Amino acid sequence: MAARAAGAAAPVPDPAALADARERAADLGVGAVSDAVGAALSMLSRMVDARTAVEVGTGAGVSAQWLLSGMRHDGVLTTIDIEPEHQRTARTALSGAGVASARTRLIGGRGVEVLPRLADDAYEMMFVDCGGADHARYLSEAVRLLRPGGVVVMHGLSAAGNPGDAARRDPAAVDAREALRTAAENDLLLPSLLPLGGGLLCAARV
């Protein structure tokens, strides 16, 4: 990660470290967020002054680098993945990026099983990028895990907002619509669907 003054967040991760993580992701055959999505993650982490963040879907650690770049310089990212090999790869990539090991906590397991074990009201930022059909459940966890003023971001939910997808009945589309409806109906969430990457459902925890 690029050098910076104490207390200040780096605006972007080191390009060479990002490229290295992307290459590792490609070797694993796993996705990684685009620079546009990454920049949004960094900006949102900075806006909420994130000291603690939680991510579901570590992959090779591309999004982790973006999240950490916007978080406080001493912020800690908890990141969850079901694939031990992905987490080993992310650990190597993050270490190569100069991220101190104390700034990340890697937990193996399914998001829906690990999140309920995390403390209430303890995070400023949550990012979900793991596919599947559990996004409404992740939102319920977000309401519990996030402090008021925090933000939850979920990647890959564009089907919730595309009028052309309204008739789709496949699990991904049904899940995306259910997640957006769940967020809109919860008085503790203020959602917005941004057309970045595969669709970013963002919601402020009010």
Ligand X SMILES: C[S@@+](CC[C@H](N)C(=O)[O-])C[C@H]1O[C@@H](n2cnc3c(N)ncnc32)[C@H](O)[C@@H]1O
Closest of 116, 129, 118, 143 to residue 55, by C-alpha:
129
In angstroms, give the least distance from the CB of 55 to ligand X: 7
Strand partners, 153: 127, 202
Residue 33 near ligand X by CB under 6 A: yes
Of 13, 61, 75, 150, the one binding ligand X by CB under 6 A: 61
In angstroms, give the least distance from the CB of 199 to ligand X: 13
Which position has the token pair 């990457």? 197
In the complex with ligand X, the residue whose CB is nearer, 52 or 63, is 63
52-56 and 123-128 as β-strands: parallel, antiparallel, unpaired?
parallel
Closest of 198, 186, 194 to residue 44, by C-alpha:
194
Query: Which residues 6+ apart lie within 8 Å of 165 measured at CB?
Result: 158, 159, 173, 176
Residue 54 near ligand X by CB under 6 A: no
Specify the stretch interacting with ligand X by CB under 6 A; choose among 4-12, 53-61, 165-173, 195-203: 53-61
Specify the stretch interacting with ligand X by CB under 6 A; choose among 55-63, 70-78, 139-147, 185-193: 55-63
Residue 110 is encoded by which pair of tokens? 């399914």
Residue 197 near ligand X by CB under 6 A: no
Query: Cβ of 29: how many Cβ atoms within 10 Å?
Result: 6
Q: Using CA atoms, how far apart are residues 174 and 33, in angstroms rounded to an integer?
A: 22
In angstroms, give the least distance from the CB of 152 to ligand X: 14
Residue 135 near ligand X by CB under 6 A: no
- Asked if 157 contacts 176 with a C-beta cutoff of 8 angstroms, the reply is yes
Site for ligand X in 157-186 (CB under 6 A): none
Site for ligand X in 79-98 (CB under 6 A): 80-83, 86
- Residues in touch with ligand X (CB under 6 A): 25, 30-33, 56-63, 80-83, 86, 110-111, 129-132
